[in-house]
Structure 1
Amino acid sequence: MRRDLQPATNGRQKPRRDDRGSESVELAILLPVGLLLVAMLVVGARIALAGDRMSGVAGIAARDASLARSAAAAQQIATDTAATALASQGLHCIDVQVSVDTAGFTAPPGTSASVTVVVSCTVNLSDIGGVAGLPGSRTLHDSATSPLDPARDLS
């Protein structure tokens, strides 16, 4: 009996089904799905790492801004401190925005007041190694409030 023929129930020979090549088709279908899952894992890890590095940057900036003598100086100090902290964390942002609420500087000495800093960092996702054309970016935020010294001297 030939290998490619198998007996039918009615006694006639019918061609045997050949499964050769099906692995190639399965691989061609599953490989893009696997690559997409790996790319999503890399993007998720990158966002989580950036969020971890971003944590605490606004706290450092708010603490330094609360030591300033004026609202303008607090704004400048907070911006510089946030940029330095992001650079020291190795976080490369394509856009950094630092917002400082300096309304507490208008409060008279002896009253409680605070300064609030909000830092926003946009992380580019299209430069992930080997994944060409991955679109998008992610904006991360961190905020913190630091009290002003109630015995501050504004002179």
Structure 2
Amino acid sequence: MTSSARPRRRRRDRDRGTYSVETAVLAPVMISLLLLMVAFGRVVDAEGAVDAAARAAARAASLERDATSAESEAQSAAVRSLETEGVTCRTSSVVIDTGGYALDVGVDATVTATISCATPLSDIGLPGLPGSKTLTASWTSPIDTYRGRQ
């Protein structure tokens, strides 16, 4: 009986330490995958926030009576929307196309807001991940056809 017990013990001795090696190899891979999921989640969340900010800016601009007020209101609406969503932009730009205000009353007109925001990703700490991702969204809102324009 003792001769049959020795081979089993030898097999166990050969496997000793393999779990530590597997953990040492797989732990960094699992952590990297987790950080990559966090990065993708942050980008998707920021895309939604930039889209909502473009929508808010276009809507705020379409409610004004003149192009100057429309641009001012759109800028502040975009900033408020991004702050409310908790998105910080390294660099951002808000471009408002107010060409519809030059059209006569009774003519269908629109105002378009385009927002560009560079969201930082460098704080995640994943090697190979870019420092930031630039997100752009555009939204068009109709101007009231029969409301006075200046």
Taking the aligned partners of 1:149 and 1:75, their CA distance within structure 2 comes to: 16
Cα deviation, residue 65, structure 1: 0.7
Q: Given the alignment of the two structures, is residue 145 of structure 1 paired with residue 137 of structure 2, yes or no?
A: no
Which structure exhibits the higher relative contact order, with contacts defined as CA atoms closer than 8 Å and separated by 6 or more residues? 2
| 1:116-155 Cα distance to aligned partner (Å, 9 max, x none) | 1111222111123xx3765422222222111112223345
Identity %: 39
Q: So what's the TM-score if we normalise by structure 1?
A: 0.78
**Is the helix fraction higher in 1 or 2?**
2
Could you tell me which residue of structure 1 aligns to residue 17 of structure 2?
A: 21
User: Which piece of structure 1 moves more, 85-94 or 18-27?
Assistant: 18-27
Runs of 4+ in 1 over 6 A off after TM superposition: none
Structure 2 residue matching 1:94: 3-state secondary structure: coil
Taking the aligned partners of 2:93 and 2:3, their CA distance within structure 1 comes to: 76
Q: CA RMSD in A?
A: 2.6
Bigger Cα Rg: 1
**Any unmatched runs of 5+ in structure 1?**
7-14
Q: So what's the TM-score if we normalise by structure 2?
A: 0.80
Within 5 Å, which residues of 2 pair with 1:54-65? 54-65=50-61
How many residues matched? 145
Structure 2 residue matching 1:93: 3-state secondary structure: coil
